[in-house]
Chains A and B, each alone.
Chain A
Amino acid sequence: MELNDRDHRLISALGDGLALVERPYLVLGQSLGMAEDEVIARIQAMKDCGIIRRFGIIVRHHELGFRANAMSVWDIPDHQVAEVGRILGDSPEVTLCYRRPRRLPDWPYNLFCMIHGRDRPAVEAAIAALVERYGLGSHAHAVLFSTRRFKQTGARYGRRAAAE
């Protein structure tokens, strides 16, 4: 899908989120000089082609009681990484899973999983369960707990928007 000018104006206006009113797409359209139908059709098209990954509530995980998070990283041989990534990505404990480049010699890991939990022992138990279940014990592995969060704004597009 090619985004045109009107889509970009809509993306920019959507950055603040929807108004919490009965007809939010009407209100959004009024701020842009677009009809409600056009707003709905354009958002639907962006959702259908994946420009909008997900449309709904965006939570603050810390405030929801997920107080601990760790980035769990592995060095998986290149010929196996796609398969291991798919397995870990499908696991209930894992909230995000990506293959990324190694940065040798400083950083030997190429598979990154985010694990969120109520507290640190819960995250440690979840990681231990993954290692046990999928026989990952022989791969080099590190767990990086977060100690402080400085910024959680979401990425900005147009005026303001969020992406992961």
Chain B
Amino acid sequence: MSLDETDRAIINVLQGGFPIAARPFAVAAERLGLTEDDLLARITRLRADGTLTRFGPLWHAEKMGGGLTLTAMKVPAERYEEVTEIVNSYPEVAHNYAREHSFNMWFVVATERPERIREVLDDIERRTGLAVFDMPKIEEFFVGLRFEA
């Protein structure tokens, strides 16, 4: 994958503020100094090569009435693969990262019903025999999560 300057401009400009109008790509293309066809072709290519995962909404879990939390576990090295398999088997586990620390497994759990969070965490504790530390956010200071291409 190689990005030219136009691809980078598309990624940087369209991570937020995509037009909600009948011809959104035409409106966005004008902002970028491109034609509608060119913009569509480039976004199609960026999605095909995996640079973009999706083109659409980033939801606010709590405002949708769902549950969301960050959880951590201390997993013995020799059990890491086995525990990963158990944790990742839940569709509610959205991402899971190995990190360098005694707390070496970190994953996000997102559910449609808030009560479901506790059920999933209890279930993981029961199946692994390991403690799951629930660390839901108390306050949010920034949710930029934008990346300069």
Interface residues of A (CB under 8 A from B): 3, 11, 14-18, 20-26, 36, 40, 43-44, 46-47, 49-61, 63-66, 71, 81-82, 85-86, 88-90, 94-101, 103, 106-107, 112, 114, 116, 142, 144-158, 161-164
Chain A residues positioned under 8 Å from B10 (CB to CB): 57
- CB within 8 Å of A: which of B36-62? 36, 40, 43-44, 46-47, 50-61
Interface size class of B (residues with CB under 8 A): 35 or more
Given A25-B24, A55-B20, A57-B10, A14-B57 contact (CB < 8 Å) = yes
Most chain B C-beta atoms within 10 Å of own C-beta, residue among A63, A89, A155: A155
Kindly supply a per-residue 1/0 record for chain B positions 51-88, scoring 1 wherever the CB is within 8 Å of any chain A CB and 0 otherwise.
11111111111011110101010100000000010001
Inter-chain contact A163/B138, CB cutoff 8 Å: no
**A65→B147 CA distance, assembly (Å):** 10
In the assembled complex, the Cα of A71 lies from the Cα of B103 at a distance in Å of 12
**What's the nearest-Cβ distance from chain A to residue B32, in Å?**
12
Q: Which of A54, A71, A103 contacts B133 (CB 8 A)?
A: A103
Chain B contacts of A24 at CB under 8 A? 24-25
> Is B100 within 8 A of A163, CB to CB?
no
Contact of B63 among A20, A49, A151 (CB under 8 A): A49
**Interface check B140, CB cutoff 8 A:** yes
B129 within 8 Å of A (CB atoms): no
Separation of A43 and B120 alpha carbons in the complex (Å): 31
- In this complex, which of B58, B72, B144 has the most chain A Cβ atoms within 10 angstroms of its Cβ? B58
Question: Within the assembled complex, what's the spacing in Å between the Cα atoms of A17 and B100?
Answer: 34
Q: Is B121 at the interface (CB under 8 A from chain A)?
A: no
Instruction: Establish whether residues A53 and B95, one from each chain, have CB atoms under 8 Å apart when the complex forms.
Output: no
**A64, B135: Cβ atoms under 8 Å?**
no
Closest to B102 in A: A106
CB nearest neighbor in B for A19: B55
Q: Which residues of A contact B94 (CB under 8 A)?
A: 151-156, 162-163
Q: How far is the CB of A154 from chain B (nearest CB, A)?
A: 6
Any A CB within 8 A of the CB of B124: no
Q: List 15 A-B contacts (CB under 8 A).
A: A20-B47, A55-B17, A59-B149, A60-B53, A64-B147, A81-B139, A89-B141, A95-B142, A99-B141, A151-B107, A153-B95, A154-B95, A156-B91, A156-B110, A162-B54
Chain A residues with CB under 8 A of B50: 60, 63
Given contacts A17-B55, A60-B52, A86-B141, is CB(A22)–CB(B40) below 8 Å?
A: yes
What distance in Å separates the Cβ of A80 from its nearest Cβ neighbour in chain B?
13
Which of B1, B95, B139 sits near A82, CB closer than 8 Å?
Answer: B139
Q: Report whether A163 and B55 are in contact in the complex, using a CB–CB cutoff of 8 Å.
A: no
Task: Let me know if B55 and A53 touch, CB within 8 A.
Answer: no
Report the minimal beta-carbon distance from A22 to chain B, rounded to whole angstroms.
Answer: 6
With contacts A59-B51, A95-B145, A155-B59 taken as known, whether A142 is within 8 angstroms of B101 at the C-beta atoms is yes
